[in-house]
Structure formats: structure tokens, C-alpha cells
């Protein structure tokens, strides 16, 4: 049995509204974060290759 | 109606018995931070060649004091105190009698252990660093004290579990409060992760330091240590994540982005932060490459919940900023409460966690680990992880938690000084850790007293950067002094009042799968993962044990 009560119609509407709010900034931020990780990883790997 | 409900639920006061227990832990935490910060500044000055220590104290002694007091004592006490307060806050303001009894027993057990270990460090009988790597040998009282610190934290954890069970009994069929759920996940991780440490200390180090056995199996002791050592990082991070997921949304006037996502992240942290210890031992013999590769793969899985956390935080900030009128790609950014230290401190901590997490991925990758292993890069990584991401979040929490527990308020003036403190800490940590990362990439070793390697030209070129490290350490110490000053003011002298204990809520009802709260399922999966990752290699280390090592005292 699911512990939550079934969401009311009003809350379901609210949920839909929340989901459709734009999260463009979030999407861009996580892409930049991913790019930062990749760039740093590649830079240290390049250092490894140079020293090897 | 929803707003009314929010207002009511956010004015719950933690009652006096629970507040006293939380405060006891938090006072010891910040007392140890003040001594540990002093030790840290002295280290930085010594390493930069700025000062020389008097003959009655040595570098490795203050290095041990710094690591133990900040890495183990400050963090553990603060976390236990914070989690107890949150358990009380989400349980109508009080802890059950059983929880209080376990809490106080745990507190005194931890205190006795801490004093025993500190006494041996002060006597210079335990300069074995916070990892107490064999074959460096401390006096038995240091190990016994460390064991009591762990046992005490277990007892405190049982208190939280008792409180959680009581809540579940009184709220049958209901989803537990997010704070309590996350606290229990953290307690579960701690109970599992510290078990091999207790085995190492009880069955290897204490008999060996007592002289009952002549030698110790070094590789086994290190494996048992890192079984604990990596989840230790998550034991620090998970309470900081609680602050980010649960408290920060309320502080900024927003909502928790997703209850289910938050719980999934904590389940993943519980499952994947433990069977990964070999990525700390990639350069060690005695462990086959295949097992190392399995641990590296599992380590990279634990990146996932941290990335989920990053997404969730960005989303909370963006939805809140947009609700307040922010437009465009990043227009929402300026609508966040930048002058409120309760938000500013953890936010800067989140920023530090971006390079910290990236450094963690680099450390855990086999070839890249060869570049940075045992260099001061690792020290830099460690400092921006626990010393910035975690510590700044804990400071931000302490600024509202201490006045809440003492029935006082965070005044505007105190908030301003606290903001300055956070800026000092951030700038100091940025300067120090950047120098550490830069030097580490050049191969400068960690855990080393000042030396110019007999006037070696290359080693001499490192000294200016080591001075930069020392300067950063100086700023951090100034910041620590400010921090203690503000906390004393908030605890003793600030105006009486009701400081809010911020607990965020989701936007309306959200569906969360019930399986996320079925702990036997997750603990069973965890057991399977641990057996898969550790059973064979530990058996090999016992069956094909290398020659044991007699104790060494290098100081």
C-alpha cells in the first residue's frame, strides 16, 4: 500500500504547473557542470600521458 | 490553506531536553574546531617556512591534532547534534525518552574517548595522523579512545533510530519526514561503515600496540580503514545535503524540488559509498588490479547522487527565483537572498563542491590517481570537500541552530559579521586549496614537514607557493576566530526570541514510492554489494598475508 494519500485535484493541477515551469537555467547549469568535470578530467589525463 | 499549514509547521520549537542534548554535541564540536584551526594555521606557517615550531612540539603532532580534531571530532559531534535537533524538530519538537537516554550515554562515551585520544596526542604518543596507518604505532589509549568515540556515536545513532521507530508507530502508513528519513540513512551508513574500523582497532591495532602480538598485517589494516574511510566522507556530506535539500529551500522561500528524488539520492549514497574503498589504495600492492577496477566502477556510480543533488539544487533556486519575478536564462539568480548568511554560507559550500567533486572523480580514476597520489593535491581536494563544502554548510546551519536551541535570535548585526566570516573562510580556502592543487600536480608530497630537500632547485621553487598556502591558512584562522565569537554571542548574549528551524516542504503532495522507506531491502542490497566487493580480496589478504610489520615510531 502506498503511504501517501492520493493527491487532490487541486494539488495535481499545481503539480502540472510546477512541471511545466521552464528550467532552462538548471539545464544549462548542469551541462556547464558536466563540461567542467570533463575538461578537468581530460587535462589531468593529458598530464599523465605526457609524463608517461 | 497550504500557506497556513506551512506557517504552523515551521514554528515548532525544539524542547529544552532535546535542545540541551544537541547543544552539548555542538559545543564540543566548535571547541575542537577552535583548537584544530589553530593547529592548521601553525602547519601552514611551518610548511611555508614562515615559522619554526619550538622543540617541545613537532609538525606531525599538530598535523595529527588538526586531522583528528577537525576531520573526526568536529564533524562527528556536529553531525550528531544537528541530526538529533532535526529528529526532534520533525517529531513535534521533542525526542523520546529512549532517544535522550541513548543520546546522553553516547555523548559521554564519545567525550571520554575524545579526551583519551587527545591526551595521547598532547603527550606526543600518537603522531600517527588521523588515518592512524599501521605500522606507525600510537599508545593503546589513543586507539581505545578512538574506539570509544565510534561506540559513542553508535549509541547516539541508536537513539535516533528509536525516535524514528516511535514516529513510525504513531504515524502508521505515513511517509516519514524527509529530515528524519535522511538522518536515518546517514546513521545506517555510519553503523555499517564504522564496523570494519572497530574490527581493525579492536583485533589488530590494540593487541599490537599493547605488545600482545609482535606484528600487524598492514594491507589488511589499510583495507579495513578505507572500508570506513570513504563512507566517512559521505557521513560528512549527507548531513550537509540534508541542509541543502531540507533547510535551504525554506530559507530562500521556496519548495523542496522533489521528495522522491531526494530520497533516491540518499539510498544511492547509502548503497554506493561503501564498497569503493580500493580507489584510495590504487597504488598499493597486495590488491589485484581486477578488484581495484571493480571498486573504481562502483565509485563512479556514487557520482550519480551528487549530480542529482546538483540538479535538484539548481532547480530549487530557479523555481524560487522565477516565482519572485526572475526572467531570462539566469535572471532568477539575483532574486536569491544573498545577504542572508543562512543561505549564503551553504551556497558557497555548494560552489566549492563543484571542483571538490571533480577532484574526487580524478582521484578515483586509476591513471589520474598515479599523477596525484600522495601529493598535496589530495590535501587540497580534502579541504575543499570537508573544509569548504561541508564546513561552510555546517556554519550556515549553526548560525540559525544555536540561537534556535538557546531561545535567541540571529540579529542583523550578527548576520553581517557572519557574512564577513564566510567571506574570509571562502577566500582563505580558495587561496590555500588552489596552491595545494597546483603544487600537487607538480608532485609535491603531502604530510611532510618543511624541507628544501638539501637545497634542491626544484624543491626551492615550491616554497613561494607553500607560503601562499600558509597565507590562506592565516585567513582561515581569522575566520575561525570570528566564527567562535559570533556563535558565543548567539548562544549567550543575543536578544531572546524564536529563531526559526527551517524545514522545507514540497510543492503540494508528491508521490513517493513506499519502497524507498523499506530499510531491510536497502540494507540487504548493501550487504550483497559489500560481500561482492570485499569478501574475496579480504580473504586473500588473510590467507596470503604478507609478512607482518613490527611497530614503528618515527618521531
A43 to chain B nearest CA, in Å?
A: 10
Weakest-pLDDT range from B33-47, B372-386, B409-423, B504-518: B504-518
Say whether pLDDT at B367 is over 80: yes
pLDDT band at B508 (very low <50, low <70, confident <90, very high): confident
CB atoms closer than 10 angstroms to residue A30? 17
CB–CB contact B357 A37 (8 Å): yes
Q: What is the pLDDT of residue B507?
A: 82
Q: Are B406 and B19 in contact (CB under 8 A)?
A: yes
Give the one of B333, B368, B508 whose C-beta lies nearest to A45's C-beta. B368
pLDDT band at B509 (very low <50, low <70, confident <90, very high): confident
CB atoms closer than 10 angstroms to residue A19? 9
CB–CB contact B510 A15 (8 Å): yes
Average pLDDT over residues B163-173: 95
What long-range pairs does B97-102 form, CB within 8 A, spacing at least 24?
A: B98/B159, B98/B162, B98/B163, B98/B166, B99/B159, B99/B160, B99/B162, B99/B163, B99/B166, B100/B17, B100/B18, B100/B21, B100/B159, B101/B159, B102/B155, B102/B156, B102/B158, B102/B159, B102/B162
Q: What is the pLDDT of residue B3?
A: 36
Whether the CB of A33 is below 8 Å from some CB of chain B: the reply is: yes
A1 to chain B nearest CA, in Å?
A: 8
| The dihedral formed by the CA atoms of B13, B14, B17 and B20, expressed in degrees to the nearest 10 | -110
Q: Are B400 and B340 in contact (CB under 8 A)?
A: no
Q: pLDDT (tens digit, 9 = 90+) per residue, B251-272?
A: 999 999 999 999 999 999 999 9
Contacts of B507 in chain A (CB under 8 A): 14-15, 18
pLDDT band at A18 (very low <50, low <70, confident <90, very high): very low
Percent share of chain B, pLDDT over 70: 98
Residue B414 CA to residue B152 CA, distance in Å, equals: 34
Q: What is the pLDDT of residue B11?
A: 76
A37 to chain B nearest CA, in Å?
A: 5
Closest chain B residue to the Cα of A25, Cα to Cα: B329
Q: Exposed, middle or buried by CB within 10 Å (0-12, 13-18, 19+), for B278? A: buried
Residue B273 CA to residue B293 CA, distance in Å, equals: 15
Whether the CB of A46 is below 8 Å from some CB of chain B: the reply is: no
CB–CB contact A26 B371 (8 Å): no
CB–CB contact B311 A21 (8 Å): no
Q: What is the pLDDT of residue B373?
A: 96
Half-sphere exposure in the Cβ direction for B521 (13 Å, CA): 7
Say whether pLDDT at B424 is over 60: yes
Closest CA to B258 of B346, B171, B178: B178
Q: What is the pLDDT of residue B10?
A: 57
CB–CB contact A14 B441 (8 Å): no
Closest CA to B129 of B71, B78, B190: B71
Whether the CB of A28 is below 8 Å from some CB of chain B: the reply is: yes
Whether the CB of A44 is below 8 Å from some CB of chain B: the reply is: yes
Say whether pLDDT at A8 is over 80: no
Q: pLDDT (tens digit, 9 = 90+) per residue, B3-12?
A: 333 344 557 8
Length of chain A in residues, anyone?
A: 52
CB atoms closer than 10 angstroms to residue B3? 7
Q: What is the pLDDT of residue B2?
A: 33
Whether the CB of A3 is below 8 Å from some CB of chain B: the reply is: yes
Residue B407 CA to residue B397 CA, distance in Å, equals: 15
Q: What is the pLDDT of residue B302?
A: 87
Residue B437 CA to residue A40 CA, distance in Å, equals: 12
Give the one of A15, A25, A44 whose C-beta lies nearest to B362's C-beta. A44
**Residues of B with catalytic annotation?**
230, 234, 381-383, 446-447
Q: What is the pLDDT of residue B515?
A: 95
Where are the domains positioned within chain A? 24-52
pLDDT band at B542 (very low <50, low <70, confident <90, very high): very high
Say whether pLDDT at B117 is over 50: yes
Contacts of A47 in chain B (CB under 8 A): 371, 441
Q: What is the pLDDT of residue A21?
A: 58
Beta bridge partners of B375: B445
| The dihedral formed by the CA atoms of B324, B395, B21 and B172, expressed in degrees to the nearest 10 | 40
Helix (H, G, I), strand (E, B) or coil at B222: helix
Say whether pLDDT at B105 is over 60: yes
Q: Are B472 and B433 in contact (CB under 8 A)?
A: yes
Average pLDDT over residues A17-22: 55
CB–CB contact B365 A14 (8 Å): no
Please measure the distance between the N-terminal and C-terminal CA atoms of chain B and give it in whole angstroms.
67
CB–CB contact A25 B507 (8 Å): no
Q: What is the pLDDT of residue B510?
A: 85
Amino acid at each position: 500500500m502506498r503511504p501517501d494519500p492520493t493527491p487532490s485535484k487541486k494539488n495535481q493541477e499545481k503539480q502540472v504547473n510546477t512541471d511545466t515551469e521552464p528550467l532552462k537555467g538548471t539545464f544549462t547549469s548542469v551541462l556547464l557542470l558536466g563540461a567542467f568535470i570533463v575538461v578537468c578530467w581530460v587535462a589531468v589525463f593529458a598530464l599523465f600521458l605526457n609524463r608517461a | 490553506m497550504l500557506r497556513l499549514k506551512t506557517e504552523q509547521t515551521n514554528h515548532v520549537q525544539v524542547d529544552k531536553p532535546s535542545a540541551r542534548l544537541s547543544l552539548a554535541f555542538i559545543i564540543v564540536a566548535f571547541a575542537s574546531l577552535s583548537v584544530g584551526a589553530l593547529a592548521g594555521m601553525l602547519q601552514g606557517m611551518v610548511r611555508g617556512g614562515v615559522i619554526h615550531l619550538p622543540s617541545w612540539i613537532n609538525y606531525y603532532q599538530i598535523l595529527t591534532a588538526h586531522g583528528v580534531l577537525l576531520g573526526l571530532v568536529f564533524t562527528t559531534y556536529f553531525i550528531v547534534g544537528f541530526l538529533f535537533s532535526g529528529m526532534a524538530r520533525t517529531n513535534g519538537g521533542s525526542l523520546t525518552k529512549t532517544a535522550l537516554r541513548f543520546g546522553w550515554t553516547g555523548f559521554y562515551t564519545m567525550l571520554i574517548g575524545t579526551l583519551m585520544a587527545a591526551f595521547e596526542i598532547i603527550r606526543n604518543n600518537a603522531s600517527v595522523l588521523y588515518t592512524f596507518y599501521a605500522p606507525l604505532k600510537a599508545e593503546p589509549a589513543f586507539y581505545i579512545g578512538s574506539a570509544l568515540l565510534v561506540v559513542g556515536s553508535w549509541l547516539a545513532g541508536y537513539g535516533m533510530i528509536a525516535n524514528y521507530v516511535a514516529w513510525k508507530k504513531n504515524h502508521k502508513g505515513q511517509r516519514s519526514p524527509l529530515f528524519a528519513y535522511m538522518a536515518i540513512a546517514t546513521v545506517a551508513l555510519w553503523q555499517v561503515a564504522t564496523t570494519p574500523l572497530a574490527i581493525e582497532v579492536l583485533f589488530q591495532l590494540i593487541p599490537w600496540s599493547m605488545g600482545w602480538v609482535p606484528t600487524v598485517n598492514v594491507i589488511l589494516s589499510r583495507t579495513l580503514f578505507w572500508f570506513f574511510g570513504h563512507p566517512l566522507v559521505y557521513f560528512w556530506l549527507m548531513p550537509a545535503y540534508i541542509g541543502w535539500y531540507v533547510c535551504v529551500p525554506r530559507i530562500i522561500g521556496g519548495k523542496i524540488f522533489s521528495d522522491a528524488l531526494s530520497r533516491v539520492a540518499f539510498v544511492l549514497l547509502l548503497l554506493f559509498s561503501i564498497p569503493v574503498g580500493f580507489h584510495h589504495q590504487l597504488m598499493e600492492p597486495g590488491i589485484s588490479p581486477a578488484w581495484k577496477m571493480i571498486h573504481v566502477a562502483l565509485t563512479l556510480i556514487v557520482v550519480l547522487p551528487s549530480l542529482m543533488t546538483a540538479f535538484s539544487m539548481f532547480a530549487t533556486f530557479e523555481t524560487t527565483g522565477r516565482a519572485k519575478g526572475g526572467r531570462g536564462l539566469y535572471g532568477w539568480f539575483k532574486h536569491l537572498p544573498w545577504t542572508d548568511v543562512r543561505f549564503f554560507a551553504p551556497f558557497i559550500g555548494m560552489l566549492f563542491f563543484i571542483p571538490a567533486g571533480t577532484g574526487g572523480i580524478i582521484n578515483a580514476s586509476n591513471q589520474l590517481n598515479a599523477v596525484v597520489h600522495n601529493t598535496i593535491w589530495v590535501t587540497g581536494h580534502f579541504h575543499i570537500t570537508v573544509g569548504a563544502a561541508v564546513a561552510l554548510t555546517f556554519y550556515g546551519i549553526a548560525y540559525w541552530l544555536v540561537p534556535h536551541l538557546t531561545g535567541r535570535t540571529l540579529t542583523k548585526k550578527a548576520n553581517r559579521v557572519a557574512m564577513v566570516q564566510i567571506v574570509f573562510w571562502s577566500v582563505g580556502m580558495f587561496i590555500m586549496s588552489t596552491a595545494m592543487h597546483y603544487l600537487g600536480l607538480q608532485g609535491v608530497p603531502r604530510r611532510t614537514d618543511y624541507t628544501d630537500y638539501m637545497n634542491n632547485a626544484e624543491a626551492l621553487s615550491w616554497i613561494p607557493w607553500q607560503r601562499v598556502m600558509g597565507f590562506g591558512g592565516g585567513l582561515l584562522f581569522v575566520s575561525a576566530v570570528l566564527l567562535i565569537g559570533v556563535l558565543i554571542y548567539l548562544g549567550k548574549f543575543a536578544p531572546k526570541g524564536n529563531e526559526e528551524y527551517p524545514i522545507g516542504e514540497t510543492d503540494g503532495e508528491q508521490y513517493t514510492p513506499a519502497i524507498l522507506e523499506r530499510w531491510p531491502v536497502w540494507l540487504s542490497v548493501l550487504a550483497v554489494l559489500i560481500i561482492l566487493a570485499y569478501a574475496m580480496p579480504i580473504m586473500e589478504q588473510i590467507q596470503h598475508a604478507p609478512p607482518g610489520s613490527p611497530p614503528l615510531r618515527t618521531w
